[in-house]
Copies of this chain bind each other. A is one copy, B any other.
Amino acid sequence: MIDEIVKKILNGDIRAIARAISWIENDLPDKEALIDELFKQTGRAKIIGITGPPGSGKSSLLDRIIDLEKQKGKKIAVLAIDPSSPFSGGAILGDRVRMQKHATDPQVFIRSMASRGHLGGLAGATADALKVLDAAGYDLIIIETIGVGQTEIEVMNIVDLVLLVLVPGLGDEIQALKAGVMEIGDIFVINKADKDEARRVKAEVEYVLHLKNEDSKESSNPIFMTSATQNTGIKELVEGMESTLQQMEESGLLKERRLKRLALELKRILSSKIEDHVHHFLNTENNLELWLDQLAHRQAAPYQLISKKVKQVLKEFKKQ
């Protein structure tokens, strides 16, 4: 069964790709053999992340970018990362509501992605989905997040190049949020550049980047002004993405990033597997109810309670 789906994926079969991603989302056991098999055929695709606060027009911008990349004959896959509902576990933004016009285009694959309680988290599930799309022959894989929380920052750790989309006039709270993700952006996009405040936002970004680069001695990050609705600045942005990727390839930065990603991946797989069993262990631990009762009556303390157990585990763990 694995051989068959692998073969179909390598042939770019859309239904097989979609099925593989569902396996990943639902953490089916077969997923691991599938990913391992596909992994051999990966490494060709360029992986772009698009992040930024809600309301910054990422979807419309992405829509324009897809138009341009399609004209260049590229096969494009988009993964929209959704904040999962903790109860129903469903992906909030269906593929249906986004970028509908590309939905029937064989050159473009669009899929929303959720993590249904997956212990490797959304970043782990996304990293696996990337391998499916890479092996399937997509030239460009774009990961879009909605929101800019910690999960989204983790997701941005698994791409080659991060586009951070900012926008004028979303109020103080958004401006503050923005600061938290400034450091993950490789390319900055001020979208809705037709708005009055756009130049002020650009100046702010330049100032923050100046502070950052003075510190790190890195070269400055490019900033692009776009308007997705008026279709301006998109061509320059796409060219900027390509030349930045080329520079990263020539300087060895791309290779370095991908190696770092592999190391992170090993860690994620190892800890998610261990954690899975830790949770199972605690759920089947006979003492759990007694412990909870003691805690509820303040007759025990949480760290102390766990401490002895952990020490046992770690002792065994370090022996090997």
A205 → B minimal CB distance (Å): 15
Residues A116-162 near B (CB distance < 8 A): 121-122, 146-153, 157
A173, CB-defined interface residue at 8 Å: yes
A49, CB-defined interface residue at 8 Å: no
Q: How far is the CA of A106 from the CA of B179 in the complex (A)?
A: 30
Q: Is the CB of B173 within 8 A of A54?
A: yes
Q: Is the CB of A88 within 8 A of B281?
A: no
Q: Is the CB of A306 within 8 A of B266?
A: yes
Q: A82-B180, A173-B59 are in contact. Are A271 and B275 (CB under 8 A)?
A: yes
Q: How far is the CA of A32 from the CA of B305 in the complex (A)?
A: 11
- Residues from chain B with Cβ under 8 Å of A23 in the complex: none
Q: A279-B267, A314-B277 are in contact. Are A153 and B86 (CB under 8 A)?
A: yes
- Residues from chain B with Cβ under 8 Å of A122 in the complex: 150
Q: How far is the CA of A84 from the CA of B274 in the complex (A)?
A: 26
Q: Is the CB of B313 within 8 A of A179?
A: no
Q: A258-B296, A317-B316 are in contact. Are A301 and B37 (CB under 8 A)?
A: yes
A184 (CB) vs chain B CBs: closest residue = B86
A288, CB-defined interface residue at 8 Å: yes
- Residues from chain B with Cβ under 8 Å of A182 in the complex: 85
Q: Is the CB of A273 within 8 A of B310?
A: yes
Q: Is the CB of B85 within 8 A of A180?
A: yes
A246 → B minimal CB distance (Å): 20
Q: Is the CB of A279 within 8 A of B271?
A: yes
A56 (CB) vs chain B CBs: closest residue = B173
Q: How far is the CA of A305 from the CA of B259 in the complex (A)?
A: 16
Q: Is the CB of A292 within 8 A of B259?
A: yes
Q: How far is the CA of A33 from the CA of B303 in the complex (A)?
A: 8
- Residues from chain B with Cβ under 8 Å of A320 in the complex: 312-313, 316
A200, CB-defined interface residue at 8 Å: no
Q: How far is the CA of A59 from the CA of B176 in the complex (A)?
A: 13
3 residue pairs, one from A and one from B, having the closest CB atoms: A149-B149, A36-B301, A316-B316
Given A83-B148, A149-B152, A151-B151, list of 17 further CB < 8 A pairs?
A36-B302, A39-B295, A40-B301, A54-B170, A54-B171, A82-B180, A84-B180, A88-B183, A146-B173, A262-B302, A265-B302, A267-B278, A267-B279, A270-B309, A274-B310, A277-B317, A313-B317
27 contacts between A and B (CB under 8 A): A35-B303, A39-B301, A42-B298, A43-B298, A54-B54, A54-B170, A83-B148, A83-B181, A84-B150, A85-B182, A86-B184, A88-B183, A92-B176, A97-B172, A259-B296, A266-B302, A267-B278, A267-B279, A267-B282, A269-B302, A270-B309, A273-B310, A274-B313, A274-B317, A277-B318, A312-B320, A316-B320
Interface residues of A (CB under 8 A from B): 32-33, 35-37, 39-40, 42-43, 53-55, 59, 82-88, 92-93, 97, 115, 121-122, 146-153, 157, 170-174, 176-177, 179-184, 255, 258-259, 262-263, 265-267, 269-271, 273-275, 277-279, 281-282, 288, 291-292, 295-296, 298, 301-307, 309-310, 312-314, 316-320
